[in-house]
Structure 1
């Protein structure tokens, strides 16, 4: 079963209340709140406020979009992030698998990341919160082979994996990656954009419908809920978000 969500980072320039208003107007079911602007780690009062506002609007908090990187301690500690997620009433926390791509890391880096993943998996399980690794470039989930190895080595019941289209793969390669990581796959970041000359160029979602028809066919889940969370829209415009949601709903109903 699919539900539609929004990553709040899509509208970093908007206050929480306007993000919620945009989401409610689109008649979606949930929001992944980012830890960079809207719910900073350690601001427990803000987390409680955002949780209440989201619930009052009839939506779920799908996850806490943290920027914690496995194996690193320079930024906010995971313990602080976990406390914030509890106050946000987030069922899961999104984290990143390090800061280097799979072709850059040493075996020592691998062990450090795996050990830290197990550590935070244990901590979050005590609070009934799941960990989701972002499927992302320049981390150990930058290829399906690396992501699969990582999940097998972590081997933790409380750690799962998001999916999103890898930027420099073909549509067929992306569809194949979905099938390979399905044992660990939970939610999905939805977008239609490319990196051109180092810059992110975002297109209307309607321009990516043919690609996403194929992805959704592979992403169908027999039981439980899989959130399709829209991340970034053309021009950072709320109206474009509404249009993109309409297109996504159309694909889901085909």
Structure 2
């Protein structure tokens, strides 16, 4: 049985109101929700965050905050807004981006990489003062778009409150995925889970069940000590019915 619990990223359903997403998560028997800062819980809007937090509390759902803060492009004031929303939500974790979004890691100078690491280190310290962890989105066209770049960055940050997410690049072969998580797994807090091919076509999670079972079994012990979430992100045709099927598959993969 995996130590990861099933969750949902609300970017999966940008068009649905929070109440409907919470209802879906309950129906799917999930443990947590990561709320999108660009859709459902805007950074700094603490009134909305408190309302959504109460919905989750009544439903017994743990909370992460999926911000789109991208240091050093976004300055500390932008991150403070994200922290305000995370506190109002009751979130235990804030996701941020590593470097400028939609920019390949190979295009950064050494000085730009240092500036990014310094900024993230400061954000990790600030969040830690409020009992909130910081995790970096693991994503193409960011400073976590390759294993080497992600390792260099997290080691440069060198802060015990800064972690990595992990998700496969679309179409990543299983052997390469295993090698990747072996390298970065000690820093991984949470996972984003989906079934895409190289062209970003979406498929039922059941078609990638063995892939994800192998990844989970391959992850080394992490320095992360909190609850660990494997969060569904996007489903075929954005359909709630497809989500419910994928959630059932995810629970089975995790050994419920």
1: CA distance between counterparts of 2:219 and 2:7? Answer: 15
| Paired residue secondary structure (2:197) | strand
2: CA distance between counterparts of 1:206 and 1:127? Answer: 38
Distance change in 2, residues 1:190/1:76 (3 Å): farther
2: CA distance between counterparts of 1:140 and 1:242? Answer: 33
2: CA distance between counterparts of 1:101 and 1:151? Answer: 17
Q: 1:53 aligns with which of 52, 55, 59?
A: 55
1: CA distance between counterparts of 2:105 and 2:91? Answer: 29
Q: TM-score, normalised by structure 2?
A: 0.93
1:244 positional shift: 0.6
Q: 2:35 aligns with which of 33, 36, 58?
A: 33
1:219 positional shift: 3.2
1:54 positional shift: 0.6
CA deviation profile, 1:138-194 (whole Å, cap 9, x unmatched): 111111111111111110011001000122532111111111112211100000013
1: CA distance between counterparts of 2:205 and 2:240? Answer: 13
Show structure 1 runs of 5+ residues with no match.
Answer: none
- How large is the RMSD of aligned CA atoms in angstroms? 1.8
Q: TM-score, normalised by structure 1?
A: 0.93
| Paired residue secondary structure (1:194) | coil
1:202 positional shift: 1.1
Residue of structure 2 in register with 1:194 after alignment = 197
Show structure 2 runs of 5+ residues with no match.
Answer: none
2: CA distance between counterparts of 1:122 and 1:225? Answer: 20
| Paired residue secondary structure (1:39) | coil
2: CA distance between counterparts of 1:119 and 1:83? Answer: 16
1: CA distance between counterparts of 2:61 and 2:46? Answer: 20
Q: Does 1:119 align with 2:122?
A: yes
Aligned residue pair count: 250
